[in-house]
């Protein structure tokens, strides 16, 4: 019986080392995982980067943090909520956080570029009696 317990422990492999960062923007949240690699794998919600973010501007925003440190990583991202542009900025924030966990010396460089700061701007809620957050009905005297 002791032999079977030893066999089970031998079968379990050590997980591959990765670093994770969570990024947010408006109502979007992204969980970014980076691992050392050749830098050819960039997967967002099970799709390639170009298939998920169709706009080249959004693709550029997503890759800014990696280009700032000029390193090659395999990237896996799970993102949800908000719009596409908001998701792109959340992914950039998550990647910057993951990179700072990977190497603390990169933190000042990423911070100077503003990638580690969460953008606090949120949509204002709609108040009762109004059409939108501040838009009231048009008043007419006659």
**Tens digit of each residue's pLDDT (9 = 90 or more) over 86-97:** 999 999 999 999
Is residue 132 domain-resident?
A: no
Is residue 119 domain-resident?
A: no
Q: What is the number of domains present in the chain?
A: 1
DSSP string, 47-114: EEHHHH--SHHHHHHHHHHHHHHT--EEEEEEEESS-HHHHHHHHHHHHHHHHHHH-GGGHHHHHHHT
Is residue 68 domain-resident?
A: yes
Return the CATH number at 62: 3.30.230.10
**Tens digit of each residue's pLDDT (9 = 90 or more) over 14-64:** 456 889 999 999 999 999 999 887 767 889 999 999 999 999 999 999 999
């Amino acid at each position: 019986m002791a032999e079977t317990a030893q066999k089970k422990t031998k079968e379990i492999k050590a997980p591959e080392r990765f670093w994770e960062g969570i990024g947010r923007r408006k109502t979007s949240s992204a969980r970014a995982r980076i691992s050392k690699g050749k830098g050819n794998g960039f997967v967002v919600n099970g799709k390639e980067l170009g298939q998920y973010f169709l706009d080249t501007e959004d693709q550029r925003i997503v890759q800014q943090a990696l280009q700032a440190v000029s390193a090659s990583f395999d990237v896996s991202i799970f993102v949800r909520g908000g719009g596409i542009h908001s998701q792109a900025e959340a992914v950039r924030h998550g990647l910057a956080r993951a990179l700072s966990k990977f190497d603390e010396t990169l933190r000042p460089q990423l911070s100077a570029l503003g990638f580690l700061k969460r953008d606090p701007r949120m949509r204002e809620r709609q108040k009762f009696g109004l059409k939108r957050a501040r838009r009231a009905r048009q008043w007419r005297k006659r």
